[in-house]
Amino acid sequence: MRQEQIHAAVRILKREIRRWQEPVVGVVAKESDHDPFLILISTILSLRTKDRTTREAGDRLFAMARTPAAMLKLPLKKLEGVIYPVGFYRTKAKAIHQICRRLIDEYGGIVPDSIDELVTFPGVGRKTANLVVTIGYGKPGICVDIHVHRISNRWGYIKTKTPEESEQVLRRALPKQYWIIYNDLLVPYGQNLCLPVSPLCSTCKLTELCDRVGVTRSR
């Protein structure tokens, strides 16, 4: 994919993803009026967890607590039980408590809007920090998860080895107007059509733009 073709790719993706369910963190953002704290907690819950499980765990948790102070009042064992069976639920419960304590002690209960600050919190990587900053605060950022990393490289739009490297390269290559929406476009496409193994290339509307880098088998 050449640089100038990214505009056509985005137009196609906007149309194509309408048939699939929106990623859970985006749903939480809309339902909570883009509350940065709920977005942060939802993203932590979603890591290495299916969207349905994340949504159910989030619904249970947010019915009990929607602020750092309220969440910190939940005993750790109870918090673990509420968010089970999300992946690494014990580790995530501990991280949530630590995050809430620090938010109260250092930030007056307000989630910071800086990626550099957010990544200093336990359990918060650049993907999570970018999601909070972009959909929570509407500030520029590019959330790069495994789908964004894989598809951007598969297209031949970038050539990188890790999601972290992809974010830095995309910050130079991707037009800024697409930064915030890029993750929302590529995640459902990667979950449903541009699969890691044997992607559904026969039904993909981007085949003329895609270099199919690394694709050895497709359907």
Q: Give the catalytic positions in this structure.
A: 127, 145
Three-state DSSP at 209 gives coil
Q: Which of 124, 132, 101 is nearest to 38 (CA)?
A: 132
Q: Which of 22, 96, 13, 92 is nearest to 52 (CA)?
A: 22
Under 8 Å CB-to-CB from 59, ≥6 apart: which residues? none
Ordered DSSP codes for 158-184: ---SSHHHHHHHHHHHS-GGGHHHHHH
Whole-angstrom distance, CA of residue 134 vs CA of residue 126: 12
